[in-house]
Amino acid sequence: MEVSTSILSVKPEEAVHTFYDIEVAKSDYFHIDVMDGKFVKPDTKLFMKESIQTIKNISNIPIDVHLMVEDADFFVNEYLPYMPAYITVHYESFKSKNQLLKVIDKIKENGSKVGISIKPETEIEAIKEFLPIINLVLVMSVEPGYGGQKFKEETLYKIKKLNEYREEVNLDYYIEVDGGINLEIARKVETAGGDIIVVGSAIIESKDKKELMKKLKNI
């Protein structure tokens, strides 16, 4: 299992120290949760902008940007210069299919891989037509917004369906799952067919990040 550590619950005053801990623990990605305070609450724009700059200065670990914003195009322009491994946008934030297709193209043309994220209440049928042209589906297992929420078990079914579908039609998008994940939940996500888990508070609050990371990556 690959682990993308969410920095949402990092305490700003301990940020650099925590980023080093995540680096030393060898997280596969830093997960940057950009929220505009409109598409979802709270507003994390400033902290995430400062954090990606700090992380780029101290680490080579790939960056996984999760945009929970109304104006995805604006924030794609803001984050592309940092050359993130992934930029993921929310299906629900687009008013038209063409608008989403344009943003997918822009991300791919600028060398990042593109993901589409769906909220818990959004069915996978809504994004099926985009699956052949994207690299990753981010299945939200909590309502986007705050870290530390409880994992919604019903999302395991979505992961299973996405896994079956990609085998059925021979597609190679990754399945990333985000929200409320700890060691026990991570095992269920892996069984359902998930490839990457986003883990925030379980790692950030862990006494031994290195030990927990090792267990999570070995699932």
- Distance, in Å, from the CA atom of 27 to the CA atom of 2, rounded to the nearest integer, reads 8
179 binds, among Zn ion, ligand DX5, none (CB under 5 to 8 A by kind): ligand DX5
Q: Does 199 bind ligand DX5 (CB under 6 A)?
A: yes
Q: What SS3 class is residue 210?
A: helix
Q: Which of 137, 181, 186, 192 binds ligand DX5 (CB under 6 A)?
A: 181
Taking CB under 5 A as the rule, which mask of x and - marks residues 137-176 in contact with Zn ion? ----------------------------------------
Q: Does 28 bind ligand DX5 (CB under 6 A)?
A: no
Amino acid at 74: F
- Distance, in Å, from the CA atom of 84 to the CA atom of 55, rounded to the nearest integer, reads 11
193 binds, among Zn ion, ligand DX5, none (CB under 5 to 8 A by kind): none
Burial class (CB in 10 A: 0-12, 13-18, 19+), 153: exposed
Beta pairing partners, 6: 31
Q: Which is nearer to ligand DX5, 167 or 201 (CB)?
A: 201
Amino acid at 217: K
Applying CB under 6 A, which part among 4-12, 74-82, 126-134, 211-219 lies near ligand DX5? 4-12
118 binds, among Zn ion, ligand DX5, none (CB under 5 to 8 A by kind): none
Whose tokens are 């359902």? That residue is 192
- Distance, in Å, from the CA atom of 19 to the CA atom of 84, rounded to the nearest integer, reads 16
Applying CB under 6 A, which part among 51-59, 70-78, 88-96, 142-150 lies near ligand DX5? 142-150
Q: Which of 21, 28, 33, 36 binds Zn ion (CB under 5 A)?
A: 33
Whose tokens are 């822009």? That residue is 106
Q: Among this protein's residues, is 33 annotated catalytic?
A: yes
Provide the token pair at 46: 């400033």
- Per DSSP bridges, beta strands 29-35 and 2-6 are parallel
- Distance, in Å, from the CA atom of 95 to the CA atom of 29, rounded to the nearest integer, reads 30
Taking CB under 5 A as the rule, which mask of x and - marks residues 58-97 in contact with Zn ion? --------x-------------------------------
Residues of this chain that bind ligand DX5 (CB under 6 A): 6, 8-9, 31, 33, 66, 142, 144-145, 147-149, 178-181, 198-202
